[in-house]
Structure 1
Amino acid sequence: MKKEELLLFFVLFFLFFVFGGGGDLFVQDFDWNKHHAILYDLVKFDWPVVYSNDVLLTYYLGQYIVPAFLGKLLGHSNLIALWSMTVWNAIGLTIVYAMVCQYLQVKSAWKKAGVFLILIFWGGATNLGSMVYQWIGHDATLGSYKWIDSNRILIHFAGNLDALRGAFQHVIVPWISCGIFMKNRKKYSIYVMLALPLLFSSTFGFVYYVGILLACFAWDLLTEKDKKKILGSTFSFANVALIPISCVILVYLSGNFLGEKPYYMGWDLLNMFCRLDFYLIFITVEFVGYMIFLYKEKKKDILFYIILCELLLIPFVSLGLYNDLCSRGGIPARFILMVWCIEQFYKYGLKNWRNFGIAIIFMFGAVNAMDEATETVQTTIENGIGDERNLQLEWESFDGWAGNPDVRVDNAYNYYTMNYSEHLFYRIARK
C-alpha cells in the first residue's frame, strides 16, 4: 500500500474522529466526560495517579497513555493531550484499515473505499429489532441506535460508529490484535502478545478475546497430530516472558473489579430464557443473520463456531450499570465477523444471493449509524462548532469523586481502587 494512500486515509480517519468529538468541536458522546477526566488527570498528576483520600485511578488506560504523555511533556497541556489523542486514534484506525485491505488483498479503489465506509458504518440491524419487538407487543426503544429495549433489558452490541465515537479505547487495540490473529491463527507463540494489549486497553474485550484464543488452541491441540509442536510453540519465550507483566496489570486492575461496589454494578447472570422473544430477536438482528449467510463459506472453519457460541453466550452475563461487558466484550468477535462479511461480499459480489442478505442487514445497521451521525451534525449546527454546549466537560478531574454519594453511582465506583495503599498492587510497587 502506497504511503500517499495511507496518508489520505489517515486524514479521513482524523476528520472522522474530530467529527466524533475529538478536539472538542462537535457534539460528544456522554463517555467524553470520562475521557476528559482520565486524560487531564494523567496530564496533571504524577503516575500512577493518586487522588485524595487514598484513592488510585484504576482503569484500562492503554489508549490514553501516549496522548497524556505528550501533553505532560509539552507543558502539561490538556489541549495538546486532547488533540494528540485524536491523532493517536486516527493512526490506530489507519493501521486497522491497512491490515484489513492486506488480509483481503484489496486492490481496486472502490473496494478500498468500501473498507473505509464499512469500518465506520457496520453494525447490526438494531432498528429492525426494535420494530419487530414492538410489533409483537413490547415497549421497544424505537429510534435508538443502541438499544432494542433499554427500559427493561440492558443488552446491546454497539455499532462501529457508536463505539468509535464514545468508546474508542474498547475498539482500536482489539481490532488491531484481531487483524494480526486472523493472519496468524496457528501461531500460538504470539497468543499472549496478542491478548496483553487488550488487558490494559479494553479489559472487557480481553475477557472474551482470551476465550477465542483458548478455544482455538484447545481445538487444535485435540485435533492436530503434532501436539508436541503446538505445546512447544505455546510455551515460547515471548509468551512466558509476558506472563509476569500480565500478572502485574491484573493485580492493578483487581483493585477496581474486586473492590466494594453496589450489588447492581457487579457480576450477574441473566436468564435470557425468561426473555426468549427478546433474545431471539437480538441475536438474529445483531449477528445470527450475518452468520446464516456466511455459513456455506465458513462451515469448515472452527473459528466460525467459536465466534457463534461466544456471541450467543455473551448476553447471559452482565457487569456494570449499563452492562458494558456485553456491548464492549463482543467487539473482537464482531470484528472478525465483519471482516468475513467483507471478504465474502468482495469475493462473490451480488451474483451470490447470500450477499443480498448480508447487504440488507448491513444497510439497516448503516441507517442506524447515519441517524446518529445526522443527529450529531444537526445539534452541532444548532449550537455552533466549538460551542461549549457540544462538550462533555462536567468532569475535568476524578479527584474527590470516588465513593461520593452526590454523583451518579457508576462515576463514584467505576474508575478507582479505594484505600489503595493497603492493596497488593501498591505493596508490590513499593518493593
Structure 2
Amino acid sequence: MGLGSIAIIWTAFGGAGHFFYANSIDWMVRDALLHDLILAEGLPAYRFGGDETYILRAPLAYDLPAAAAGRIVGLYFADKLLWAWTATGTFLFLALLPFESKLSLRLAAAMVIPVVFSGMDIVGFMFPDYHWGAFPFFHAKLDWWLLAPPRVAYFANTTQLFWSPHHVIPGWLAAALLYRHFGSARATRIAIILAFAIPLWSPLTWLGAIPLLALTFIRREYRLFSLKERIGILALIPGAIIIILYLTLNATNIEFGATFDDATRNGQFAALSTTGKIVWYFVSYSFFLVVEFVVLAMLVRGAMAKVLFYASIAILALLPSISIGPYNDLAMRASIPALTLLCIATVRFVQSPDISGSGIRLWTVYLVLALGSVTAFFEFYRASTRPQWDIVESQNLVDVLHGSPEPHYMVKKDANFLGPIMRETSTIPRSLDYFYLCQPRHPEILARKPIAPGRQRGPLIPLGPFMSNTE
C-alpha cells in the first residue's frame, strides 16, 4: 500500500497525465508523439516540402499501450493512461527494492531514498567558481551544473521520471531485477529478455545496461546453458536485428565524439592554451565524479555483490569521456542502470545495521542524501508552482519541431535500406495555428516570448597561468 501510494504521488507530479506542470521541452515532444501514434494507420510519416517523406525513428515501447487505447478513447484519456502506465512501472521498480518487512525508522528512511536519490548537484552548483556561489532559483534544473567540457550530467531519479520516464523505467527495472537475481540460474534468463526488450524503450539506457547484463553470462559458461535457454537466445536474435536496424537508421547524423572536443560551447575553454585545456578537462572531470557518486559509493560499499557494485562504478567513471547527441544523451541515459544499482546499495545500507552501524558513516550517508535531495525538491517545486497545461489534441511532431526534420526522430523513407520493405502509411499534415488553438499558458506560446539572459558561469579552476597570449 505504501509503495503504491509513493508511485502514484511521485508520478502524478511528472509530465504524464498533465496533472501538474509538465516540463515543456520534453513533454511537448512526448505529447506530439502520442498524438501521431494514435492518428497514423501504421508508422507515422511526415512530408517536408516537395515529395520528401520522413518516417518516425524512435523507441516506442513506452507510448504504444496508451496509443493503442487512445484509438478508442481519444488522446485526452490516452494521456491519463500513459500516467497509469508510468505509475505501474514505477511501482514495480519500488516493489523490487530490498525493503525490510519490519516497520522501523530505518525502513521509513529507505523508502524515501528512491525519490530523493541524486548526486550532490547543489554542491557543484554552489562551488565558489560556479555561479559565484549563489543559491540557484527554485525553478532551476540543478543536474546541469558542470561547465563544459566535459559536457555531462547524471540526472536524479526524480529528474529522470519527470522529464523522460521512457528512459528511466527500463533502466530501473533492469537494475532491480539484476540485483535480485544476480548469481542465480534465473539471472541469465532475465538478462536475455532484458537485453532484447530494453532497446524498444531506450537504446541509450540499453548501452548502459549491456555491460551489467553481460556479467551474468560471464559467470556461467555457455555449455552450462540449458537447451531451453539456448533456443530462447536464438529465437530472439532475428527480432533483435530488426529492432537494431530500425533504431540505427541514418544514425550517422547524430553527434558523436569525445567530450574533450566539446569546446565550441565554452568560449573560456577555447581561449586556453593546450596545457590549460588539459588541466581544465581533468580537474572538471574528477570534480564531477566526486560530486555525483564517488563519495556515496565509498560510504555504501559492501552493501552489494562486489563484481556488480564495482562494474557500476567503472561505468559511471568512464561515461563522461564519450558524448552522443547534442547534450550528451549517452551519459544522461546510459548512467541510469549503474546509478540505480548505487541507489539500491544505499537502500540496503541504510537498513542493515551490520553494514552501516549507527555512527558517523551512517550519518554521513544521510548528509549526502540530504544534499542530493535538493535536486528532487527543485523538480517538485517547479511542477507544483508553474501553471499546469493540458495536452494539445491537434499538435503533431512536425509542429513541435517547427517544421524541420529532426535527425533524432526522423529519417528519409527512401534514403534507408528498410524503406522498400516498409508498409505504406498516410502522412501526418502540419495544420496547427499555435496562437489560435493553444492555451495562453501553453509552453509553445511562452517559448516565443523573450526571456532574460542568464549569467555567464565562471571557471572551476584559476586559469590565469594557462591563458593563451593570442588575441
TM range (shorter): 0.7 to 0.9
The match for 1:174 is 171
Task: Give CA-to-partner distance per residue, 1:348-375, whole Å, 9 cap, x none.
Answer: 2561432222211111110121123223
2:94 is equivalent to residue 94 of structure 1: no
Matches within 5 A, 1:8-407: 9-29=3-23, 30-52=25-47, 53-74=52-73, 77-100=74-97, 103-108=98-103, 113-132=108-127, 134-135=128-129, 143=136, 144-150=141-147, 153-186=150-183, 187-218=187-218, 220=219, 227=221, 229-230=223-224, 236-258=230-252, 261=253, 265-271=254-260, 274=279, 275-298=281-304, 301-348=306-353, 351-380=358-387, 386=388, 388=389, 396-399=395-398
Task: Give CA-to-partner distance per residue, 1:119-152, whole Å, 9 cap, x none.
Answer: 22111101112223x34x7878962411123565
Contact 1:32 1:392 in 2 (8 A): no
Comparing both chains, which one has the higher relative contact order based on Cα–Cα distances under 8 Å and sequence gaps of 6 or more? 2
Task: Give CA-to-partner distance per residue, 1:184-232, whole Å, 9 cap, x none.
Answer: 22332332202222101011110111122224533x25xxxxx355455
Contact 1:191 1:239 in 2 (8 A): no
Structure 1 runs not aligned, ≥5 long: 222-226, 381-385
User: Cα distance, 1:46 vs. partner?
Assistant: 1.5
User: Cα distance, 1:343 vs. partner?
Assistant: 0.2
Structure 1 residues 216, 277: CA separation in 2 closer, same or farther (over 3 Å shift)? farther
CA RMSD for the aligned pairs? Answer: 2.9
Q: Relative to structure 2, which stretch is displaced further, 53-62 or 63-72?
A: 53-62
Structure 1 residues 400, 28: CA separation in 2 closer, same or farther (over 3 Å shift)? closer
SS at match of 2:386: helix
Task: Give CA-to-partner distance per residue, 1:259-306, whole Å, 9 cap, x none.
Answer: xx3xxx4111123955112111111111111111123555x6111221
Contact 2:208 2:333 in 1 (8 A): no
User: Cα distance, 1:162 vs. partner?
Assistant: 0.8
Distance 1:416 1:240 in 2: 31
The structure in which a higher percent of residues are helix is 1
Contact 1:59 1:256 in 2 (8 A): no
Identical positions, percent: 21
Distance 1:106 1:279 in 2: 40
Distance 2:374 2:77 in 1: 34
Query: Size of the alignment, in residue pairs?
Result: 393
Contact 1:33 1:395 in 2 (8 A): no
SS at match of 1:59: coil
Structure 1 residues 35, 318: CA separation in 2 closer, same or farther (over 3 Å shift)? same
User: Cα distance, 1:239 vs. partner?
Assistant: 2.1
SS at match of 1:412: coil
- Write the letter of the residue equivalent to 1:194: L
Q: Relative to structure 2, which stretch is displaced further, 32-41 or 148-157?
A: 148-157
Structure 1 residues 48, 228: CA separation in 2 closer, same or farther (over 3 Å shift)? closer
Contact 2:107 2:351 in 1 (8 A): no
Structure 1 residues 70, 146: CA separation in 2 closer, same or farther (over 3 Å shift)? same
Contact 2:99 2:111 in 1 (8 A): no
Q: Which is higher, the Rg of structure 1 or of structure 2?
A: 2
Structure 2 runs not aligned, ≥5 long: 262-277, 425-471
SS at match of 1:62: coil
- Write the letter of the residue equivalent to 1:32: W
- Write the letter of the residue equivalent to 1:367: V
Contact 2:118 2:372 in 1 (8 A): yes
SS at match of 1:268: strand
Query: Normalised by the size of structure 1, how large is the TM-score?
Result: 0.82
Distance 2:225 2:421 in 1: 31
- Write the letter of the residue equivalent to 1:271: F
The match for 1:224 is none
- Write the letter of the residue equivalent to 2:117: W
SS at match of 1:417: strand
Structure 1 residues 400, 344: CA separation in 2 closer, same or farther (over 3 Å shift)? closer
